[in-house]
Each structure stands twice: as C-alpha cells, then as structure tokens.
C-alpha cells in the first residue's frame, strides 16, 4: 500500500511526463506546421516561376507574331501597292507640255484599269515597246478600240469627225501613220503627247497603236513641285 508521499511523487512524475509529452506534441506540431509552410512557400515559388516562364514564352511568341505582321505590311507596301494599286513616277521630257512639265512627280493609279477600260483623254502610263522592254511613256488617250483615226490639215479626225479638244495648242505638222485613215483593233488605243509637234507617240511607225495590256495606269495627281500639287486633267 503506497503512502501519500509516494502518491505525490507518482502524480508529480506523471505531470512531468504529460508536460514532456505535451511539449513534444507542440514541437512536433510546430515542425509539421513549419514543414507545411515551407512546402507552401516552395510550391508558391514553383508556381511563380512557372507563370514567369509561361509569360516569357508568351512574350516571345507575341514578339514573333508582331514581327511577322510588320514584315508582311512592309512587303505589301513595298511590292503589292506599287505593282497593283498606286505608284509614283517622274515625267521625263517635254512631250506632255503644257499639261505636264519635265521632272514633275506624279501618282499613277493602277487599280481602276483592272475593272474598267481607259477613256478618251485619260493621261496614261504605258510600255510603248512591249512588256519585254523596261521603258515607260506618259501620253494622252486619243483614239479608242474600233475607231478610225486620221490626222489631216493639222487636226485629228475620229470616224470622219473632227475631235473637239483643247489639249494640243498647235496645229499638227506630221500625222505619221495616221495621215491616212487608221482603224484600231479591238484592244488598241491611239495615244499622243499634248506637245503635238514634239512627241514620239502612236503616230510613229515604231510605236503605233498601243495594246490594252501595255497601258499600266492612269496619272491622277501631281505631287511635285509642291506649288503645282493637285489633280491632273
């Protein structure tokens, strides 16, 4: 039979054991909580790193996409627009005086002739010697497909009627191949310079009527010199 003192010692020892066990439990919980917190931090860091890497890849992809768009725009402006829509050209010579002067800069519109044919009095850019020769003239359309052209007594006749126009300011000296009636083919145009006595044009036997496919555009705007800026008639 244990004494009161022994019971007191047992209770004290039990309390110590419980205290130690509680402390161990608290320490274990703290270690576990710290481990969980470390795991959360590590997972968060991994997540942040993954998001950062994903963002870098996305930024790189966006940059390449934007670069491709800019390259395509540049190619369109460099190749497609001048070839099919509008292009700048420079007047070389005096054959279109007094309408156009030497070294004036013009904008030549090409799109409309893909949907409609040149009209009488249009100022056009053409290839007089065919598409195999890289040379361009700028002239005015005088005769249309199927019409009969003749130049006599210093005047132009279309189907036997005098052409009423004010572009040529002087009497024509040389009618060239149009001295006698000249009937144009179904896709041919007769072109002349406004400087009628100082122009190589359809009157010359080495040029003649111009096939439709050789007319490349219509001069629509004078852009230089700046004091002559404006549309072209």
The H or E element spanning position 211 is: strand 210-211
pLDDT value of position 200: 94
pLDDT value of position 94: 93
pLDDT value of position 26: 46
- pLDDT, block means (10 residues), the chain with 233 residues: 51 56 52 58 61 57 70 58 70 92 90 91 94 91 97 95 88 94 96 94 96 93 89 82
Given a contact cutoff of 8 angstroms between Cβ atoms, the answer to whether 184 and 149 are in contact is yes
Of the listed 110, 139, 199, 218, which one is catalytic?
139
Of the listed 95, 199, 202, 218, which one is catalytic?
95
- CA pair distance 226, 230, nearest whole angstrom: 9
Domain boundaries along the sequence of the chain: 1-86, 91-231
- CA pair distance 203, 2, nearest whole angstrom: 145
Q: Does the annotation count 62 as an active-site position?
A: no
Q: Does the annotation count 19 as an active-site position?
A: no
Phi and psi torsions of 78, nearest 5°: -80, -40
pLDDT value of position 232: 84
Longest CA–CA span in the chain (Å) reads 158
CATH superfamily for domain 91-231: Umud Fragment, subunit A (2.10.109.10)
- Listing DSSP states for 128-163 in one string gives TT-TTS---EEEEEEE-TT-EEEEETTEEEETTEE-
- Listing DSSP states for 39-60 in one string gives HHHHHHHHHHHHHHHHHHHHHH
b/e map 21-54, b = 16+ CB within 10 Å: eeeeeeeeeeeeeeeeeeeeeeeeeeeeeeeeee
pLDDT value of position 31: 47
């Amino acid at each position: 039979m244990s004494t009161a003192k022994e019971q007191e010692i047992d209770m004290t020892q039990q309390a110590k054991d419980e205290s130690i066990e509680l402390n161990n439990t608290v320490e274990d919980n703290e270690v576990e909580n710290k481990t969980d917190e470390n795991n959360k931090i590590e997972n968060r860091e991994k997540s942040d790193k993954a998001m950062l890497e994903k963002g870098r890849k996305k930024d790189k992809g966006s940059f390449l996409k934007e670069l491709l768009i800019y390259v395509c725009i540049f190619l369109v402006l460099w190749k497609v627009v001048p070839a099919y829509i509008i292009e700048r050209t420079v007047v070389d010579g005096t054959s279109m005086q007094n309408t156009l002067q030497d070294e004036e800069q013009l904008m030549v519109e090409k799109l409309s002739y893909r949907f409609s044919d040149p009209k009488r009095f249009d100022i056009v850019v053409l290839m007089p010697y065919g598409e195999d020769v890289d040379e361009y003239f700028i002239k005015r359309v005088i005769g249309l497909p199927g019409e009969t052209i003749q130049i006599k007594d210093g005047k132009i006749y279309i189907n036997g009627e005098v052409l009423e126009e004010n572009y040529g300011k002087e009497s024509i000296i040389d009618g060239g191949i149009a001295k006698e009636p000249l009937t144009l083919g179904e896709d041919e145009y007769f072109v002349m310079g406004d400087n009628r006595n100082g122009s190589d044009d359809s009157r010359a036997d080495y040029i003649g009527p111009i096939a439709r496919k050789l007319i490349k555009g219509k001069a629509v705007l004078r852009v230089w010199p700046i004091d002559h800026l404006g549309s072209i008639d």
